[in-house]
Amino acid sequence: MLKENKMRINELNFSISKITAYLIALIIIYFHFTLPKYDYPDQTNEIAWDILSYYLYLPASFLHGDIGINDQAYIQAIFNKYHFSPFFYQAAQAPNGNWVMIYTSGMAILYMPFFLLGHLWAKIGGYPTDGFSYPYQFCVSSGMMIYILAGIFLLRKILLHFYTEKITTIVLVIIVLGTNYFREATDYNMGPHGILFMFYGILVLNTIRWHQNQATKYVIWMGISIGFLILIRPTEAICIFIPLLWGVYNRNSIKEKISLLILNKKHIILLTLTIFLVGLPQLIYWKYQTGSFLYNSYWNQNSFDITESHFLKVFFSFRKGWWLYTPLITLAFVGFLFMKNETLKKVRVPISIFIALNIFILTHVPVWHNAGSFGQRFMVQSYVILSLPMGAFFSVFSFKKSYLKVAIGLIASMLLFLNLFQTWQFVRWIIPADGMTWEYYKYSFFKTSYMTVEEQSMLMLQRTFDPNEKFNESNPNYQRRTIAFFNMDDVNSFEINKSYLDTTYSRSGKNSYVLSKENEFSLVYEKPYSHITQKDHLWIRITLWFFPTQKLDINPADIVIHLNHNGKAFQYTGFHLDSNPYKINEWNKYSVDYLTPYIQDEDDKIVTYLWFIGKQKIYIDDFQIEIFEKR
């Protein structure tokens, strides 16, 4: 009778984590489909900003027959209709002139079945079959929930290999509902992080199973997961340390692991082949577009800088601090101290090395604040790994005195509620996508109403990322000053090459400056940011007069502005002189405004110059650079 009762209790315990997983799945589905973005029947915001770079492979190839995006009119047309972002940054030109998607094709492959379903709906329902209308966006976004939910159940299976039903249930609830994973799984489910979470689940689960039983199917699943992890985000290549070092924790275990790998060398070949086959579509795409099987599509993104760490800002800043907005994840780091039993000791090394490498990479990303993110979204995929030390934390304290368990339970419950509430604030634009300050954080704590214009003044500068944005000169908080002026006669801020001066045309004085094919880059202004201002941002205005002798569409010239960080340009913007109406053989005034990006180093340089691409001469006069800085 006693044995029968224990079996019933065990059956009940088994059901706890499974029922919890299903309940969490229902919560995520409900929250996803009740977001503000679904309040409107024509909602088409799912594919905006970075998501477009992951997605554009599909309509460009399947519907437009132009995966190389050679037809820029097509890009302009969809941007005019759907307004994905202020400008097209989702692809960049390779040295051979072809356009290449910034992000790799892993997400596009996962989007594909739902994209095709959306295309069928669009055809039957009479929607535009352009790849971007409502059926496409709804089907792809909804389809991603399958991967998200799979990740939750995979995490449960992983945890049950190490912990009881009770501990598994607690960790499952905290990881999914108590961290910023919840936002990635619901509001940003078309982004890569919730999907990467699933692939880490596949990788860890099959790593565990392969070390228990060296079956071929586990190797194939490991290869598929590693392949997709790298194909979605190449920096996830560090995931290879998980199966490679699994079970390694002392000198004898190293010898045993080497023997195991030698004994199963065919599996190593199969694993390598599977990873290669998953990545093959990307290699073919790069070869087709650039002429090379390997290509750094992130070259203009300033995505990694080994010379400068942003550790404290990544972890603790009010702007995007990981531990500030996801405080429950700190329990995982405490849990590392308690991974002492025989089972957990065997996985402590691969977990520690993976987490250390992941943190190192992500704290050396110059744009560490990843705008549009609730906390540090780049960390979300690592929560599968961090769930193991978190389980160790709760396992240890489950044996402590009742009052201690109650205290930990209350604190964890309050922090879980805080995460859910702040996620609710974030998706309703009460907490801003970026620019949070301590002042506004205090003010917005448990705030339930939308942010007003007056309240926005508490935030850091809110950027539109629109290159055509103009500075509001009536803003009393800024002062204006000129930092360079050239009248090509007696007032020039630095010495210019007199061989390019000409008296044929002039607007003031007797000289103008000639742009010609012999003078491609001209009037270069370059100065460290700290020598201009100590403020955190500037508006730069460039004004000049130009005299074209031929139409600029066949004789183009640009004003180029960017910042230079460690020898690399970022926030590079080119302004075409023909972007405004002009007259040939007359003097035309042209003015542009440029908001500096986030300054990473006081030695960053502001660089601006004229870039002439044509053949017939263009004359320049009264070239002026002004700045607007905070008082």
Residue with token string 């080119």: 574
* Domain end among 368, 395, 427: 427
Tell me: the pLDDT tens digits for 500-533?
Answer: 999 999 999 999 999 988 888 889 999 999 999 9
CA dihedral 364, 365, 366, 368 (to 10 degrees): -110
Cα–Cα distances in angstroms (integers) from residue 76 to residues 71, 80, 85, 253, in the given order: 9, 6, 11, 58
Do the beta carbons of residue 387 and residue 158 sit within 8 Å? yes
- Place 279 in a pLDDT band, splitting at 50, 70 and 90: very high
pLDDT reported for residue 153:
98
Do 91 and 208 sit in the same domain of this protein?
yes
Do 157 and 249 sit in the same domain of this protein?
yes
- Burial degree of 301 (CB within 10 A; 0-12, 13-18, 19+): middle
Whether the per-residue pLDDT at 543 is higher than 50: the answer is yes
Facing residues of 491 across strands? none
* Domain end among 405, 427, 449: 427
Please calculate the CA angle 23-27-31 and round it to the nearest 5 degrees.
170
* Residue 90 belongs to some domain of the structure: yes
pLDDT reported for residue 620:
95
| Percentage above 70 pLDDT, the chain | 96
**64-68, 236-240, 329-333, 377-381: lowest mean pLDDT where?**
64-68
Q: Measuring CA to CA, which residue among 313, 457, 425 is closest to residue 376? A: 313
- Check which CATH number belongs to the domain holding 522 and give it: 2.60.120
Do 275 and 343 sit in the same domain of this protein?
yes
Overall number of domains in the chain: 2
pLDDT reported for residue 10:
52
pLDDT reported for residue 398:
77
- Place 17 in a pLDDT band, splitting at 50, 70 and 90: very high
End-to-end CA distance of the chain: 81
User: Is the Cα torsion angle 382, 385, 386, 390 positive or negative in sign?
Assistant: positive
Q: Measuring CA to CA, which residue among 190, 227, 188 is closest to residue 206? A: 227
* Residue 434 belongs to some domain of the structure: no
Do 421 and 497 sit in the same domain of this protein?
no
Token code pair at residue 493: 């801020």
Pairing of strands 512-515, 478-486: unpaired
- Place 41 in a pLDDT band, splitting at 50, 70 and 90: low
The number of beta carbons lying within 10 Å of the beta carbon of residue 255 is 11
pLDDT reported for residue 5:
53
pLDDT reported for residue 38:
64
The number of beta carbons lying within 10 Å of the beta carbon of residue 276 is 12
Do 65 and 165 sit in the same domain of this protein?
yes
* Residue 455 belongs to some domain of the structure: no
Residue with token string 């706890």: 16
Do 208 and 340 sit in the same domain of this protein?
yes
- Burial profile 565-604: b = 16 or more Cβ within 10 angstroms, e = fewer: beeebbbebebebbeeebeeeebbebebbbbbbbbbbeeb
pLDDT reported for residue 564:
87
* Domain end among 427, 462, 490: 427
**170-179, 325-334, 489-498: lowest mean pLDDT where?**
489-498
Do 83 and 157 sit in the same domain of this protein?
yes
Q: Give pTM, 2 decimals.
A: 0.89
pLDDT reported for residue 132:
94
Q: Which helix (H) or strand (E) holds 195?
A: helix 192-212
* Residue 468 belongs to some domain of the structure: no
* Residue 204 belongs to some domain of the structure: yes
pLDDT reported for residue 44:
59
93 vs 14, higher pLDDT: 93
* Residue 461 belongs to some domain of the structure: no
Whether the per-residue pLDDT at 546 is higher than 90: the answer is yes
Cα–Cα distances in angstroms (integers) from residue 179 to residues 110, 225, 374, 438, 508, in the given order: 25, 23, 10, 21, 63
Pairing of strands 512-515, 521-528: unpaired
Do 256 and 176 sit in the same domain of this protein?
yes
Phi first, then psi: what are they for 403, rounded to 5°? -65, -35
User: Is the Cα torsion angle 514, 515, 521, 523 positive or negative in sign?
Assistant: positive
Tell me: the pLDDT tens digits for 88-146?
Answer: 889 988 888 889 999 999 999 999 999 999 999 999 999 999 999 999 999 999 999 99
The average pLDDT across 334-357 equals 95
Put the strands of the sheet holding 568-576 in their side by side order.
521-528, 605-612, 557-565, 568-576
The H-assigned helical ranges of 445-514 are 453-456
* Residue 537 belongs to some domain of the structure: yes
Q: Can you give the residue range of the structural domain that contains 554?
A: 478-630
64 vs 95, higher pLDDT: 64
Do 246 and 316 sit in the same domain of this protein?
yes
Whether the per-residue pLDDT at 372 is higher than 60: the answer is yes
* Residue 465 belongs to some domain of the structure: no
Q: Which helix (H) or strand (E) holds 574?
A: strand 568-576
Facing residues of 558 across strands? 576, 611
Do 381 and 514 sit in the same domain of this protein?
no
Do 483 and 398 sit in the same domain of this protein?
no
Provide CB contacts within 8 A for 204, sequence distance 6+: 158, 242, 384, 385
Do 139 and 257 sit in the same domain of this protein?
yes
- The secondary structure of residue 63, as a DSSP letter, is I
pLDDT reported for residue 2:
44
The average pLDDT across 164-176 equals 97
Would you list the DSSP string of 514-571? Answer: EE-TT--EEEEEEEEGGGT-SSS--EEEEEEEEEESS-TTSS-EEEEEEEEETTEEEE
Q: Measuring CA to CA, which residue among 101, 100, 83 is closest to residue 466? A: 83
Instruction: Tell me if residue 246 falls in helix, strand or coil.
Output: coil
Instruction: Tell me if residue 17 falls in helix, strand or coil.
Output: helix
